[in-house]
Structures are given as structure tokens and as C-alpha cells.
Chain A
Amino acid sequence: MSFLAPLLAVFGISVPAILVLYILKVRRRIVVVPSTLLWRTEAVDRQASVPWQRIRPSWLLFLQLLAAIALVLALTRPALAHPAQLGPDTVVVIDASGPMQATDVSPSRFAAAVVEARALVDQLGSGQRMTLIAMDANPRVIAASGGDHGVLDAALSGLRPEAGLADLRTALALATAAPGGGNGDRRVIVISDGVVDVSGPTVTLPYPVQYLPVGVSGENLGISGLTVSGVDGSRVVAINVTNYGTARHATTIETRADGHLVDARAIDVEPGGSVEVDVALSGSPHTVTADLTPHDTFALDDTASAIVQTPRVIHAVLVTPRNIFLQEALQLRSDLRLDVETPAAYRPHTGVDLWVFDGFMPSALPAQPYLLVGPPADPAIGAGVEVRPGPLTPASAGDPLMEGVDIGNVAVAHSRDLSASSFGRAVIDSQAGPVLLVRDGAPRAALLGFDLHDSDLPLSPAFPVLVERLSEFLVPDAVPPSPVEPDTPVDIPVPGGGSVTVTRPDGTTETLNVMAQMGDAVLTDTDQTGLYTAIIRAAGAQQSVTARFAVDALDPARSAITPQSELASVRGAAASPTPGSRGAVFDDLWPWLAVLALAVLSAEWVVFHRGR
């Protein structure tokens, strides 16, 4: 047995101190009483004529000494030592992704992983450090490098499995970057079922990587698709069920519309195969939910929901002398109804979702979203004289508006000088300043500085894509029209700013405030599957708009939950040094001594109050 804090034995002075207190007499106040006849038995063992007295056997003294000894021993932290199983620096990566919710091991893969992690924490010895990393779609450090068992246990207690797919690559990057790994004695332990995102090249770590697999079975039947087509009165729900296991499975698909059961159908699905079930819907339901009953060991993909939506029609008006390029590009959108007017015939009116002004700018810009193409010079929008822009480049990398838009070879002869414009943020830049500006406020608007006829852009494959991106930006969907995967950020447009209150499937709510410059609320907490309701309150608007969207776990990569015997795409360094160099682990005995001291003090309290 070792003492981890032997210096604290100095508090052993309390033992002789207690004895001294029993030897020394108490200084007492003198009170003259008529008679001591009735008090005498109280003082049989306390009378003395000297400043000290002989110690008499006393339960109180015995218990107080015992409590003091127990407390002093606890302070010195006696511990039993045994060889450590871990190295001086261990990083434990715990898989908290969706597949870890599988219950093929009791109570779940995730719970089993936490148990294994706790066992590792228990093996942590003095002077050893451990870092805990939660691995899901967004890996993160949940306990920084340290040796405090309480902190590590608390981090494990607060960890919950998410619905997304594990991002092993990012988790290992975090493990590499964690502090304290400079001396090369780090060891990485991954507790996972191996169902991870393996896209990309093999990850090579400078440390040994140990994989502790969790899970025993990959049998899983899940919904891999849910689509609603048709119009009210003749809608059809197409439900795809996939067998990700190695055995044939039977199940029943229960289909509910607005919560009411409309169809229940038994199906058999071959291993690796899929079955599509079409269910006709009558009436005009708002939501459809498909449920596989009974649920198997992986329930996350046994339920899927969809919002029944009537395809919207965007009414756009193109005001142009003549621009066949723009007209054709706009008409590529099936949900857009386009009217074409000449500038002379332009009259502002309502009922228009999108205005497109080509080579023309009205005296008063409309209240609806609009796109200005090749406007005349106008200080109101900051359009100056014509300049030669030169090569075009995206103003910022990763702009969703430029996703799939290749403008590298586009040439523009002339463009309005927008360098001094405060119209909005730049999307396409050039040597002479921006040529495409967009505004996120209300109404949304876009300004393309050049006439399409002065450019070869209309002949580029990027042109229709750019027009579609711009039209989607200018007239966005309130919420995603089709189900999104868990842990996927959802943009909820709030032009002009305001707030969005989102109610999750479990009834919890979150309010997101949107500044006018932002234009979008981004909901990131979408780990729950099911139906979400968003109440959108635009700034200054009298009424709110309610929109619903669904989050479904339809990704086959998540549903293929077969545990992997080894981690793919990961290569670690050579094995760790000999166990003898790992030091020792100490089992603290102080908690038991503290409990003993508490029990003895409780007994002392009882003896004190009964004996007096």
C-alpha cells in the first residue's frame, strides 16, 4: 500500500490534541447554588483539584480518536498500487454516431462503448492523462487531456448518441492535435462499431491506434426512401424498404397520414434487396409517416416522415426589349411561370413573385424580389460608367450561389462600374470591381452589372445554373421541401430579419433571431428524426408564417450497421512500449476511510446525546 499524500500525515497531531483536551480541565464559571445535592451525580468523573485529570475510559474519547485516525489516514490518500494498463497519454475516441444507437448489444452499442471507456478511465494511473473525443458527424473534445477521474466520468455521463454518421477522419485529426502528444508516447483508442464515413484517403497517425469494436450484428431493415407525388386527391406515397443484413426479414409497413393509419402492409425483403411500396392517399393530408413494425435493433431508420406539399409556382415577369438567353434560362425551372413584357409596357403590379429587369430600371424599384441585368447607369443602385472587367472570379470561396458555376473562361466586354455600389454583397468579382451583387434584405435583389449580349456567359454551361441559383436565392423555399438527413443544417429564410421558433419532434423549441443583413436562420440541431415546425416572424410583419419540414435517416451509409472488425482507412504507428514502462495505477482507499470517519462521527454524536 502506498500513501499518495504522506505529508498530510502532519494532521495526525489531532490525535494527541484530542487526548490533551481530555487531560486538561475545562475552565468553568463559578455559580453558587443552594445545594449541589441534585447535581452531584453529574460530576462524579469530572472533579479534580489540579489543572489536569486522569484519562478515564470513555466511548466518546475512543470514537473521537478513531474518527481522527480515519480522517488523517484518508488525507494521506492510502492506495493500493498495481501495474498500469494505459500509457502516459491516451486519447479515447468514442463513437456517438447514429449506428451506435443499435441495440444488438444490451442496452445499446453506445452504452457498451461508454462502459468500455469508463473501464479505461478506471485504469488511468497517477501521472497519466486521458483525452476524450466524441465521434459523430461533428467530432469534438469532451474532456481535455487530464487525469481527473471525476472530470472524465462526468464527460462520459453527459455524452449522448447523435443521429449522424461518424466522421472518423476529423475525430482522428482532433486526436492528433490534442495537447501533450509531442513526446510520442500517445496512444489512440477508438471505441466504435466501425460504421464510419470512410471517404477519402487512408489516415496515417504517428501514434498507435487501437480499435475496440462494439456490436455483434448487422441485421437491419430500414426505410431508405419516402416520397410523395401527385396532387390532392390522387397522391401516392412511395416507400422504399432496404434489408441491410444477411438474412431475409419480414416486417409490416404502417402508413399514417396526419397521424391516422391509412395502410398496413406485410413485406419480405431479401438480404441486400429493397422493396418499394406505393400507398395511395385520399383527401389532402399534410404529413405522411411510414413506420416499420416491430422495430428492429436499429430503430432510427424504422420511421420516416414527409411533408405533403403542393408544388409552388413562381410567377416571374421578365421586362426586356428582347433577351432570348435570359428568357430560356428562366423557363428551365419547371415551377416558374414566366411572363415577358417590354419596358414600355411595364406597370408595377402585385401578384408577381420575381421581377427581372433586363437593360431597364424602373423609376421605382418594386417591393417584390427582383433581378437587374445590365442596368443603365444609375446612382440609386451605384451603377456607374462602363468599364472593362477582365477575368471573372468568385468573390468568396464556398458561396452557395456559385456552387457548380464555373466562370473561369467567361469573357465580358463591358460592365457597369459597381465598385462604389452599396447595393449588396459581391458574388462575382473582377479586376474592375464586382459584376454581380446580391442583397439579403427585404426584398431580396440581385444586380448583374453587364448586358448579357456583351458577354459569352449565356453560351457557357454556367449560365443556366447561375440563373437557377439566383432565382432560388431571390425566391427561396421557406423550408426544405424534401426530408433532410439528421445533423444537417437547415436554412430557413427570413428576408429582412426577424425570428424563427422551431419545434422539434420531441416538443422542445428553439428560437433563432435573424439580423436583417443575414436573411437566413440556420438550424443546426437537427439530430432528431421526425417532423419539425418552424414559425417564421419577419421583422415588422403582422402575421407569422408556419412551415414544416422532415428529418429522416434515409442514408444507406448509416443504416448499414454491420460492425467492422477493423477500422478501414486508418493506419497507426507501431505498438506501444512494454507494459512495465507504463507505471502504476493506484486504487484510492480514502473514500472508504472517509465513510468510516463519517460513520464513527455519527456514532459519536449518538453516544454524546444519549450519554449526557
Chain B
Amino acid sequence: MTSRAASAGIAAARALGLTPDVLALLDHMSLPSRRPVLGDAGQRRSRRTGGSVEFADFRAYVPGDDFRRVDWNAYARHERLIVRLHSADEDVTLTLWIDTSASMAYGDPSKLHAAASLAGALGYVALGAYDRACVATFASTATMLTPRLRGRSATHRLWLALAGLHGDGRTDFGAIGRAATRTAPGIAVIISDFLSQPGPDAALAALRGAGQEPVLVRLLSRQEVEPDLQGDLRLVDAETGTAVEVTVTPATIAAYRSRLAGRTDALRTLAARHRARWVDLASDTGVVSAVRACRSAGIVR
């Protein structure tokens, strides 16, 4: 990686709120795995059978790989760095699904910025622990922004990808389901406001079917949690353009809160049904608090 790219990555990290202090805090964290997962050689135990030193395969060295895994004999024969893979030491791929629909552009700071910051932090944790990470976005369609990155040096690329996000389009969780088979097994973190219908039920099922361990992170802006609207209003949906007319009174606000609480309960129940972890955040929470919430939920440790 060139120094120019590194500088751009550091600037992107700063833009995402990932300051050196924050990164120092993240250095002490790593990804857990609630159950054995399939993956490449790495730090985690595979659910495949076999001893811990059982040879599985070779693959080319990529920056960030542990030098201890380099097969120096193969290097002597082929003059290429080859890494030995073992079945019991597979690493985890962390797929960060970020909702980039138009609704994510709202809030102060915007929900999309908060989502990018959290994704940057989680990706840094994964890559720092020799796990793999990739960033994907979804709105109307799913887009893989990065390949599966590995090694701490890849964090700059991850941050650069996250810093360039912008919100547009309508939320379609079906896009995740359709792309789930193209992602490596591991942990799939979906960061969204989940303010769309239909919900993520089908996407979660698809992820589970693809060997993913799903995590739902809901981000809402403070204005969505505590609406400060009043009077006779015509509310226009930022994604669909549909309008509803309401007369906002204290009773209306109370009813809104009640429905928000019902929506939260429904999502929490859905997550439990799919054995997915659930984290509920506000966009103004801050990346450190957000990561701590993720640690409380068992997403990092």
C-alpha cells in the first residue's frame, strides 16, 4: 500500500470519528464466535472435524498473513510465499451490510455516518485480529464495496470505502438475501434503521442458510426517537415519496412512541427467532459508545 493511500485511509478514519484514541481502545477487542464457523485458516476453531494441526490446503500469501504460517519449503521450491492452511484454525469473515437507502441520510449526525463509523470500528477490530472483513451496501440492490480484506493494513481500504457512502434509494432487505450466497460464511452485521416493509425476515433466513451468523444493528436518529413535530403536517416519505397527513398533538406523539416500541419489540423477536444478536443505537450515540454497546451484545469482546 502506498503512503498516499495510507494517508487517505487515515483521513477517512478521522472523518468516521475513528481517532487514535478510539483505535487504541479497539486494539484490545476481537470478534467472538458464538458457534464454530467455516472459514479460512485463522484464529478460530472450525466446525469441521480434525486436529488442530491437521493440514488443509495452501494458498498464496497476502499482506497481513501471519509469517509463521508461511511454508518456507514451498518458497524454496517455487520462490513464492505460500501459506499453509489448517482445518482447526479458520478465521472469521465479518460482512458489514450497511443500509444506504435515502432514509439513512437523516439525523444529526446522519444515521449513515453513524453506520459507517460503527462499521469502520468493527472492521478494524476484525482485521486487527487476523479475521477477514468486507463491506457491502444495500438499498434497492446490494453492492460489495470491498473484497474480503485481511490484515490490519487493509483497514485503510475499508475506511476509504466507508467514507464515500451516501444515502439514496429505497430499502430492500431482499437484496441482502439475494447476495447472501456470494458472501463467505462468518458474521453478517446489518446496520439499518429498519423503517421499511417488508422487514429483514427473508434476508435473515438467507444469511442463516449461507452460514452467516446475523447481527442486527438498528440506528435511529434522535428526531425519530423523540419527534419534535407539531401542527397540521403533510409528511412525505424520503424513500417512497408517499405522503400522509397528520395533526400532531401530544396524543399523536404518544401514539407514535407506542408504535415505535411495538416495532422494536417485533424486530427484537425476529432477531431472536433467527438467533441473531440485536443492538439498538441512536445516531448521536458516538462510535465509542456504539462499540461498547456491541460488546455488551457480544458482537465484539
Binding site for B on A (CB under 8 A): 25-43, 46-47, 609, 612
**Given A28-B232, A47-B245: A33 in contact with B238 (beta carbons within 8 A):** yes
**Given A27-B232, A41-B259: A36 in contact with B247 (beta carbons within 8 A):** no
Q: Is A28 a contact of B193 with CB atoms below 8 Å?
A: no
Contacts of B5 in A (CB 8 A): none
Chain B, range 240-264, C-beta contacts under 8 Å to A: 240, 242-247, 249, 251-252, 255-256, 259-260, 263
Question: Closest CB-CB distance, A44 to chain B, in whole Å?
Answer: 9
Residue on B nearest A612 in the bound complex, by CB: B251
Question: Closest CB-CB distance, A202 to chain B, in whole Å?
Answer: 78
Q: Is A31 a contact of B234 with CB atoms below 8 Å?
A: yes
Question: Bound state CA distance, A237 and B290, in angstroms?
Answer: 104
Question: Bound state CA distance, A72 and B243, in angstroms?
Answer: 39
Q: Is A32 a contact of B259 with CB atoms below 8 Å?
A: no
Question: Bound state CA distance, A32 and B242, in angstroms?
Answer: 10
Question: Closest CB-CB distance, A538 to chain B, in whole Å?
Answer: 71
Residue B74 lies at the interface, judged by CB distance under 8 Å to chain A: no
Question: Closest CB-CB distance, A454 to chain B, in whole Å?
Answer: 103
Q: Is B236 a contact of A34 with CB atoms below 8 Å?
A: no
Question: Bound state CA distance, A609 and B250, in angstroms?
Answer: 9
Q: Is B238 a contact of A43 with CB atoms below 8 Å?
A: no
Contacts of A31 in B (CB 8 A): 229, 233-236
Q: Is B236 a contact of A33 with CB atoms below 8 Å?
A: yes
Residue on A nearest B171 in the bound complex, by CB: A35
What are 8 A-to-B residue pairs whose CB atoms are below 8 Å?
A25-B245, A29-B232, A31-B236, A34-B221, A34-B238, A36-B243, A39-B235, A47-B243
Question: Closest CB-CB distance, A396 to chain B, in whole Å?
Answer: 80
Question: Bound state CA distance, A36 and B263, in angstroms?
Answer: 13
Counting from the closest, the 6 A-B pairs by CB-CB distance are A35-B195, A34-B103, A43-B244, A28-B234, A612-B251, A34-B106
Contacts of B107 in A (CB 8 A): 34
**Given A34-B193, A34-B195, A34-B224: A612 in contact with B236 (beta carbons within 8 A):** no
Question: Closest CB-CB distance, B229 to chain A, in whole Å?
Answer: 7
Residue B239 lies at the interface, judged by CB distance under 8 Å to chain A: yes
Q: Is B236 a contact of A32 with CB atoms below 8 Å?
A: yes
**Given A34-B106, A36-B242, A36-B244: A42 in contact with B255 (beta carbons within 8 A):** yes
Question: Bound state CA distance, A36 and B236, in angstroms?
Answer: 7
Contacts of B103 in A (CB 8 A): 34-35
Contacts of A27 in B (CB 8 A): 232
Count, A-B residue pairs, CB within 8 A: 93
Contacts of B240 in A (CB 8 A): 36
Contacts of B196 in A (CB 8 A): 35, 37
Residue B51 lies at the interface, judged by CB distance under 8 Å to chain A: no
Contacts of B252 in A (CB 8 A): 42, 612
Q: Is B260 a contact of A38 with CB atoms below 8 Å?
A: yes
Residue B197 lies at the interface, judged by CB distance under 8 Å to chain A: yes
Q: Is B260 a contact of A612 with CB atoms below 8 Å?
A: no
Question: Bound state CA distance, A41 and B258, in angstroms?
Answer: 12
Residue on A nearest B231 in the bound complex, by CB: A29
Q: Is A33 a contact of B231 with CB atoms below 8 Å?
A: no
Residue on B nearest A40 in the bound complex, by CB: B244
Residue on A nearest B258 in the bound complex, by CB: A38
> Among the interface residues B229, B236, B244, B255, which one has the most CB atoms of the partner chain A within 10 A?
B244
Q: Per-residue CB proximity of B158-192 to A under 8 Å, as 1/0?
A: 00000000000000000000000000000000000
Q: Is A35 a contact of B247 with CB atoms below 8 Å?
A: no
Q: Is A46 a contact of B245 with CB atoms below 8 Å?
A: yes
Contacts of B197 in A (CB 8 A): 37
Contacts of B237 in A (CB 8 A): 33-36
Residue on A nearest B234 in the bound complex, by CB: A28
Binding site for A on B (CB under 8 A): 102-104, 106-107, 111, 193, 195-197, 221, 224, 229, 231-240, 242-247, 249, 251-252, 255-256, 259-260, 263
Question: Bound state CA distance, A28 and B246, in angstroms?
Answer: 9
Residue on A nearest B240 in the bound complex, by CB: A36
The 8 Å CB contact of B195, one of A30, A37, A43, A612, is: A37
Question: Closest CB-CB distance, A498 to chain B, in whole Å?
Answer: 68
**Given A27-B232, A47-B244, A612-B247: A35 in contact with B255 (beta carbons within 8 A):** no
Contacts of B104 in A (CB 8 A): 34
Q: Is B239 a contact of A35 with CB atoms below 8 Å?
A: yes
Residue on A nearest B104 in the bound complex, by CB: A34
Q: Is B238 a contact of A39 with CB atoms below 8 Å?
A: no
Contacts of A612 in B (CB 8 A): 247, 249, 251-252
Contacts of A39 in B (CB 8 A): 235, 244, 246, 256
Residue on B nearest A34 in the bound complex, by CB: B103
Extra contacts besides A34-B104, A42-B246 (17): CB < 8 Å: A28-B245, A29-B234, A30-B233, A30-B236, A31-B229, A33-B237, A33-B238, A34-B103, A34-B111, A34-B239, A35-B193, A36-B237, A38-B259, A38-B263, A39-B256, A41-B255, A43-B244
Question: Bound state CA distance, A28 and B233, in angstroms?
Answer: 5
Question: Bound state CA distance, A30 and B249, in angstroms?
Answer: 16
Contacts of B193 in A (CB 8 A): 34-35
Contacts of A36 in B (CB 8 A): 235-237, 240, 242-244
**Given A37-B195, A38-B259: A43 in contact with B245 (beta carbons within 8 A):** yes
Residue on A nearest B259 in the bound complex, by CB: A38
**Given A43-B245, A612-B252: A35 in contact with B238 (beta carbons within 8 A):** yes
Question: Bound state CA distance, A46 and B243, in angstroms?
Answer: 11
**Given A26-B232, A38-B263: A32 in contact with B238 (beta carbons within 8 A):** yes
Contacts of B244 in A (CB 8 A): 36, 39-40, 42-43, 47
Question: Bound state CA distance, A397 and B111, in angstroms?
Answer: 105
**Given A30-B236, A31-B234, A36-B235: A43 in contact with B106 (beta carbons within 8 A):** no
Question: Closest CB-CB distance, B226 to chain A, in whole Å?
Answer: 13
Contacts of A41 in B (CB 8 A): 255, 259
Question: Closest CB-CB distance, A39 to chain B, in whole Å?
Answer: 5
Question: Closest CB-CB distance, A478 to chain B, in whole Å?
Answer: 74
Question: Bound state CA distance, A42 and B249, in angstroms?
Answer: 11
Question: Bound state CA distance, A39 and B256, in angstroms?
Answer: 7
Q: Is A609 a contact of B259 with CB atoms below 8 Å?
A: no
Question: Bound state CA distance, A40 and B102, in angstroms?
Answer: 19
Question: Bound state CA distance, A204 and B231, in angstroms?
Answer: 76
Question: Bound state CA distance, A29 and B231, in angstroms?
Answer: 8
Question: Bound state CA distance, A26 and B245, in angstroms?
Answer: 9
Question: Closest CB-CB distance, A247 to chain B, in whole Å?
Answer: 76
Q: Is B233 a contact of A609 with CB atoms below 8 Å?
A: no
Question: Closest CB-CB distance, A604 to chain B, in whole Å?
Answer: 15
Question: Bound state CA distance, A41 and B246, in angstroms?
Answer: 9
Contacts of B239 in A (CB 8 A): 34-35
Question: Bound state CA distance, A34 and B103, in angstroms?
Answer: 4
Question: Closest CB-CB distance, B6 to chain A, in whole Å?
Answer: 35
Question: Closest CB-CB distance, A530 to chain B, in whole Å?
Answer: 63
Q: Is B247 a contact of A26 with CB atoms below 8 Å?
A: yes
Contacts of B247 in A (CB 8 A): 26, 42, 46, 612
Question: Bound state CA distance, A26 and B229, in angstroms?
Answer: 17
Contacts of B224 in A (CB 8 A): 34
Contacts of B246 in A (CB 8 A): 39, 42-43, 46
Contacts of A38 in B (CB 8 A): 195, 256, 259-260, 263
Question: Closest CB-CB distance, B99 to chain A, in whole Å?
Answer: 11
Contacts of A33 in B (CB 8 A): 106, 235-238
Question: Closest CB-CB distance, A50 to chain B, in whole Å?
Answer: 13
Contacts of B236 in A (CB 8 A): 30-33, 36
Residue on A nearest B248 in the bound complex, by CB: A42
Question: Bound state CA distance, A25 and B245, in angstroms?
Answer: 10
Contacts of B234 in A (CB 8 A): 28-31
Question: Bound state CA distance, A46 and B245, in angstroms?
Answer: 6
Residue on A nearest B106 in the bound complex, by CB: A34
